[in-house]
Structure 1
Amino acid sequence: MTENTKSSRFKSGRGKPGSPFRKGSGKPAPRRPGLPPEGPVLLYGLHTVEAAFANKDRKRLKLFATENAQRRLEERGVKIDVTVETMMPRALDRMATKDAVHQGMILEADPLPAYGAEHLKGARLILALDQVTDPHNVGAILRSAVALDADAVVTTERHAPEEGSVLAKSASGALDMIKHVRVKNMARFVAEMQDQGFSCVALDSDGPASLEETPFTDKTVLVLGSEGKGVRQGVREACGLTARLDMPGEIRSLNVSNAAVLSLYVARMKMGL
């Protein structure tokens, strides 16, 4: 049964926002949104929290929410299976980063399990990001990948955003709706996927053919790089296939999150998905 306690504000001392300990617990408090997940993370916003409750792989710990937010979740059929602390909006403001749109709810949860290449069995369309570091871009890409029914988004363990509130909020629930796989070495990952029958296509503005002209198989990995550097040379060489996105207008390049949307759309058309 869910325990529901009321709190209009944080008290001073150990329960004060910014303190490393929660009042009376003697244990480290969850890290503030936007910081690396060394322990529990704080997820906020309606779609993010709703998706986290629907994800069987997400270990949820505690919900901090206004009475109105609790009603909204219940009206949307969310089964709240953790302790709930009822709070006023200003108290939630102090838990979140400045200007965070928490919509009256913050969920304390453990980071998602570490997914690896072994979790991609049965996948057909995978989007890999080679050292894309901006959490807003990666979050938007995760959301687009879910919308276009990709099977997974792959990032490197280093030079990629940690799971946290900014990434989760930017993804608007998608972080809990798609496999986010982290790999140590992107070139090695590409080679492993090729061994499993995937064609791997690196997006590059100097590619020899447009993505529409590039041959696809029924299992494809699309690889996009960071803005500026693009896909690294070793990763491009591992892919074998390089393609470009032709833009008819005066601006010839796209933001990486927009390029991901267009690439996934073209790939689905080419693969007959």
Structure 2
Amino acid sequence: MSEPKMKMVLVTPEIPYNTGAIGRTCVALDLELILIKPYGFSLDEKSVRRAGTDYWKHVNLSEYDSWAHFLEDRQPERGQLHFYEEDGAQTFYEPEYPRDAYLVFGCESAGLPPEVLEGMEDRVFNLPMLDKRVRSLNLANVAAAVVYQAMRPQLGG
């Protein structure tokens, strides 16, 4: 049986470049990328492939029509779910991430929908930003920072 692995989940991503860049990170770390529809682009777009360069064909990709379908199929335990929003009550440094964690990110313009976060307030994390003039960070940058922090014990850090 294979070892449990973390998964990156993008809920209704809007910008193909971010999805491509996150896919490339998933390939680098041998992680599954899970996309929840609807998307703001087509996966056939050149920009997704361009951001993932020639790695996109190697992305371990799963797609779901909705958050409800994802939950029904995967049935993740509460402790596996980690959500990221700029107003999360805890920083992404705080949790001990299980090896089979789901790292969940929302769309670039609106973040995660309320129905996804409902009852999960204690599972929502942020990346600290010291200058309040910055409203948010780029999704691909946030996802990379989060996954490397979450996998730190596995990567020898």
TM-score (norm 2): 0.81
Q: Pick from 226, 229, 234: which aligns with 2:110?
A: 229
The amino acid that maps onto 1:136 is Y
Within 5 A, what are the aligned runs for 1:34-113?
Answer: none
Whether 1:259 and 2:142 are equivalent positions in the alignment is: yes
Pick closer, same or farther for the CA change 1:161–1:152 going to 2, 3 Å: farther
- 1:204 and 1:235 map into 2 onto residues whose CA distance is 12
After TM superposition, give the deviation of residue 163 of structure 1 in Å.
2.3
Q: Pick from 141, 150, 161: which aligns with 2:22?
A: 141
After TM superposition, give the deviation of residue 158 of structure 1 in Å.
2.0
2:126 paired residue number: 244
Structure 2: which 5+ runs fail to align?
A: none
After TM superposition, give the deviation of residue 161 of structure 1 in Å.
3.1
Greater shift, 249-258 or 199-208, is seen at 249-258
- 1:208 and 1:126 map into 2 onto residues whose CA distance is 22
Helix, strand or coil at the partner of 1:194: coil
Helix, strand or coil at the partner of 1:243: strand
Q: Is the 8 A contact 1:224 1:230 kept in 2?
A: yes
Pick closer, same or farther for the CA change 1:181–1:167 going to 2, 3 Å: same
- 1:150 and 1:129 map into 2 onto residues whose CA distance is 17
1:61 paired residue number: none
The percentage of counterpart residues that share the same residue type is 21
Q: Is the 8 A contact 2:27 2:60 kept in 1?
A: no
1:272 paired residue number: 154
Bigger-Rg structure (1/2):
1
Structure 1: which 5+ runs fail to align?
A: 1-120
After TM superposition, give the deviation of residue 198 of structure 1 in Å.
6.4
Helix, strand or coil at the partner of 2:118: helix
Root mean square deviation, CA, Å? 2.4
Higher relative contact order (CA 8 A, sep 6+): 2
